Structures are given as C-alpha cells and as structure tokens.
Amino acid sequence: MTEVLAVLAATWAVIMGLAPLLQLRRMVQRGSAADVSIGYLLILLPGFGLWIAYGVSATNLALVVPNAVGLLVASITTGYAVRLRRSWARSGSLAH
C-alpha cells in the first residue's frame, strides 16, 4: 500500500509541478505578465530546490523527480514573466 501511495503522490506531484505551464500559456497568449505574481513564483523556486536536496539525501526519487519538474517549469515561467515585464518597462506600453 505504501508503494502505491508513493507512486500516486509522485504522479500527482509531477502534475502539480506542471501547473505553472497554465500560467505560461496565458502569458504567451496575451503577451503580458501583468497578472502574474513573480514573487509567488520566486518563493516556489527555493522550495523545489530544498525538496530536491532532501530527496537526493534520502535517495527518494518520489521526491526528486516531481520537484525537479516543478523547478524546471517554475524557472521557465518565472524567466518568461520577467522577460515580458522588462519588455513592457522598455516599451512603456500598457498592452504588456
């Protein structure tokens, strides 16, 4: 039973790690990061890193894999949001 729960939890954690892709898709569609909380994303990044470190130290792939996915996706989403915000600041456009 514990192994089944580990697989289910790790699978759902990967899905959770992919969740920022929804925000990334919205930013791409709108060409704007105005409604994105970059602070929220920045809080997630060290959390993912800490869980990866803990998972590595505990040799627990069920912690490492989902958090690595989350770290990658949140990093991409954060980077794109920052890029859009800088673009907006340079252009001074209200559309971004």
Q: pLDDT for 22-66, tens place per residue?
A: 999 999 999 999 989 999 999 999 999 999 999 999 999 989 999
* 96 pLDDT tier (thresholds 50, 70, 90): very low
Alpha-carbon gap, residue 38 to 45, rounded angstroms: 11
Alpha-carbon gap, residue 54 to 27, rounded angstroms: 32
* Among candidate residues 12, 36, 11, 10, the one with its CA nearest the CA of residue 24: 36
Angle between helices 2-18 and 61-91 in degrees, nearest 10: 10
The pTM is what?
Answer: 0.84
Q: Is the pLDDT of residue 5 over 60?
A: yes
